[in-house]
Amino acid sequence: MEFQFQFDWQAAINSIPFLLKGLPYTLMISFGGLLIGFLLGILFGLLSLNRRWYLRWPATAYIEIFRGTPILVQVLFIFYGLPDLVGSPIEPMTAAIAAIAFNSGAYISEVVRGGVQSIARGQREAGLSLGLSRIQTFTYIIWPQAFRRMIPPLGNQAIVSIKDTSLFSVIGVGELVRQGQVYIANTFTAFEVYFAVAVLYLIITLSLSLLLRLVERRGSAA
């Protein structure tokens, strides 16, 4: 039995305009979720460094729960489980952004914690010896140095979160993968369409990687 397969480039190219309809959703979920996740990461990352156990333990619990469970399970819980608790349905986009926010926030918390801890203790002591308060020392001395060190891992997390949006087709969000599924149902060109989807994701992540490298270089030169 002879098996022959010929890649149809035209089918892949024809699918791109339809797939691009899902691009705004992918970007909205990614960057909206990452923005909230960054704020959560700063909050819980700093709380995880706090000496007070009643502040540190809840932060640690949040980090471990969301780092220790798959994001697919998290979005399914938010979309299907939470409505039973709150008594109101949750929109797919809202659930997707929340999943990215809480998931990325847990990982960013560890990035923040590691970045702050990487700054030598002498930097804090120097700030205090200059008459700065603890908050001023952190704001003007510790945080700027720590943030520069956080840029590479924060960039990696952004790329991971962008790719994670491909999972949200399971709740009907019209992002790239969902658009591809709809197109395949009408054309039966699965290989070509998923190839086009992969190329679009690659373009997004490579563009972000190049931007982050530029930011790193400027930060190093400063």
Q: Give per-residue pLDDT as tens, 82-103.
A: 998 888 899 999 999 999 999 9
pLDDT in tens, 180-196: 999 999 888 899 999 99
- Taking the domain 15-221, which CATH number applies? 1.10.3720.10
- Is residue 2 predicted with pLDDT exceeding 70? no
Where helices occur in the chain by DSSP H, the ranges are: 9-19, 23-47, 53-68, 71-76, 82-86, 92-117, 121-129, 134-137, 143-164, 176-187, 190-221
Residue 52: which pLDDT band, with cuts at 50, 70 and 90? very high
How confident is the model over 156-165, as a mean pLDDT? Answer: 94
Q: Is the pTM of this model over 0.85?
A: yes
The single-letter DSSP state of residue 222 is: -
